[in-house]
């Protein structure tokens, strides 16, 4: 059969294609330290993926222009190989494998979101590739005994439990009723666990516990229940889309609730997109520009905010800030290790104890950052309709007083 000839030539063409495409990079080429990162440039996390990428790029440029990394008396510059993981864990795991085994990357930066980090961590762990990640907050990442995973952020379960504490405090220490709506994904479900812990601890009561679909576009059913049950606190978490959907529908349906606690308000640019409708929303944040941490590269939060806005045309959400911090951590570790040996760099990372503009960074044995508390800010608007995020808790950083309860829609 002649057909075989076609197939045979096809197979041999394949062989040639494969053998020519073995491109090899090394971890350090010339004066460059090459880091690998799978980032969500498309798909449901694309907006946060871009924040992450911008944060990485900003720090790479800054560190390189300010003298680079000094190892063994020589100066090196950072460079990052990016791939698009399409917000898909399957793809992310594949890309991690590809970065390590094909591109020869020996140091990795994290992807965006807990789910993707969960998919990548086993791969980096297997190859002993140190990964500093800035956007995977799921608590379960830090209980697996991973030795090469370091997260500059506080775990997800700490995001909103402060809000419950705050509500209880406002209720004279008595338990409150809590309505919860969380997206079906690793991060949001972890935030939920934290809230559940807080509910138990404070003797509060959950009255609604809804799981919302991914790519959250509609939560009207939950809000109808909220209108009926009149809980003291409504907690919503579902990445950027969740925050936008919640504010859109709460304002449309005029849902009155004394406290609305959310995540991802700044990544969603809530105060800009929804203006006064987003007023009084309480948001968990890893970072805020008014915090007074300092470092040599970005100086402080206000300067970072201004520089980032100048470069990318929008104010940096915390996702960008923590991503920038990841590179500062890497630089610090390389210099302390004074080597590119993966084990030595890993040990140096584990011993990190530094302050950056983003916050203090010190890793627990599990890899999470234990030296940086979460902050809560509230969206506050003036009469002209200009809205700003102001830190209201913890009191050490507060720049404004919490407005509680939220005035009803009829009085706004």
Q: Does 16 bind another protein (CB under 8 A)?
A: no
Q: What are phi and psi of 14, to 5 degrees?
A: -60, -45
- Residues in contact with another protein, counted by CB under 8 A, come to a total of 57
Closest by CA to 126, choosing from 154, 97, 162, is: 97
Q: Which of 193, 306, 350, 354 binds another protein (CB under 8 A)?
A: 193
Mark residues 382-401: x for contact with another protein by CB under 8 A, - for none: --------------------
- 235 is written with which tokens? 């907690």
Contact predicate 87/75, CB 8 Å: no
Considering only 185-193, 198-206, 275-283, 316-324, which stretch makes contact with another protein by CB under 8 A? 185-193
Contact predicate 139/116, CB 8 Å: no
**H/E element, 16:** helix 3-20
Q: Which of 145, 203, 365, 407 binds another protein (CB under 8 A)?
A: 145
Q: Which of 51, 118, 288, 331 binds another protein (CB under 8 A)?
A: 118
The Cβ of residue 399 has, within 10 Å, a number of other Cβ atoms equal to 13
Contact predicate 152/132, CB 8 Å: yes
Task: Show the DSSP H helices in 338-386 as ranges.
Answer: 342-350
**H/E element, 6:** helix 3-20
Which residue's CB is nearer to another protein, number 131 or number 379?
131
Could you give the CA distance from residue 73 to residue 150 in angstroms, rounded to a whole number?
26
Q: Which of 9, 184, 228, 309 binds another protein (CB under 8 A)?
A: 184
Q: Which of 9, 65, 75, 143 binds another protein (CB under 8 A)?
A: 143
Site for another protein in 34-93 (CB under 8 A): 41-42, 82-84, 87-90, 93
Site for another protein in 198-237 (CB under 8 A): 211, 213-214
- List residues binding another protein (CB under 8 A): 1-8, 10-11, 14-15, 17-19, 22, 41-42, 82-84, 87-90, 93-94, 97-98, 101-102, 115, 118-119, 122-123, 125-127, 138-140, 143-145, 182-186, 188-190, 193, 211, 213-214
């Amino acid at each position: 059969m002649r057909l075989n000839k076609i197939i045979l030539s096809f197979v041999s063409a394949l062989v040639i294609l494969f053998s020519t495409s073995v491109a090899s990079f090394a971890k350090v080429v010339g004066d460059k330290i090459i880091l690998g990162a799978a980032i969500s440039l498309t798909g449901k996390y694309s907006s946060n993926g871009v924040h992450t990428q911008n944060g990485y790029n900003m720090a790479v440029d800054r560190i390189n222009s300010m003298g680079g990394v000094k190892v063994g008396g020589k100066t090196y510059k950072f460079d990052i190989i990016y791939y698009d993981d399409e917000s898909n864990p399957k793809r992310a795991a594949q890309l991690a494998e590809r970065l390590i085994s094909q591109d020869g990357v020996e140091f990795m930066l994290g992807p965006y979101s807990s789910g993707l980090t969960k998919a990548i961590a086993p791969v980096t762990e297997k190859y002993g590739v140190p990964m500093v990640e800035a956007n995977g907050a799921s608590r379960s990442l830090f209980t697996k005994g991973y030795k090469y995973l370091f997260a500059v952020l506080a775990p997800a379960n700490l995001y909103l439990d402060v809000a419950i504490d705050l509500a209880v405090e406002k209720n004279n220490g008595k338990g409150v009723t809590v309505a919860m709506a969380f997206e079906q994904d690793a991060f949001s479900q972890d935030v939920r666990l934290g809230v559940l812990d807080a509910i138990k601890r404070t003797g509060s009561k959950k009255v609604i516990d809804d799981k919302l679909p991914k790519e959250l576009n509609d939560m009207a059913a939950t809000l109808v229940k909220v209108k009926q049950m009149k809980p003291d606190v409504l907690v919503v978490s579902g990445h950027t889309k969740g925050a936008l959907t919640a504010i859109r529908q709460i304002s449309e349906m005029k849902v009155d609730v004394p406290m609305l606690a959310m995540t991802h308000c700044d990544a969603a640019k809530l105060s800009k997109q929804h203006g006064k409708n987003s007023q009084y929303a309480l948001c968990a944040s890893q970072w805020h520009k008014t915090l007074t941490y300092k470092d040599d590269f970005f100086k402080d939060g206000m300067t970072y905010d201004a520089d980032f806005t100048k470069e990318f045309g929008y104010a940096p959400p915390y996702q960008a800030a923590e991503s920038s911090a990841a590179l500062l951590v890497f630089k610090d570790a390389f210099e302390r290790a004074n080597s590119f040996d993966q084990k030595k760099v890993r040990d140096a990372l584990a011993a990190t104890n530094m302050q950056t503009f983003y916050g203090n960074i010190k890793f627990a044995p599990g890899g999470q950052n234990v030296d940086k508390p979460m902050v809560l800010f509230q969206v506050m608007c003036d009469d002209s309709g200009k809205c700003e995020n102001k830190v209201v808790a913890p009191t050490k950083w507060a720049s404004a007083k919490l407005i509680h309860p939220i005035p009803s829609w009829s009085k706004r």
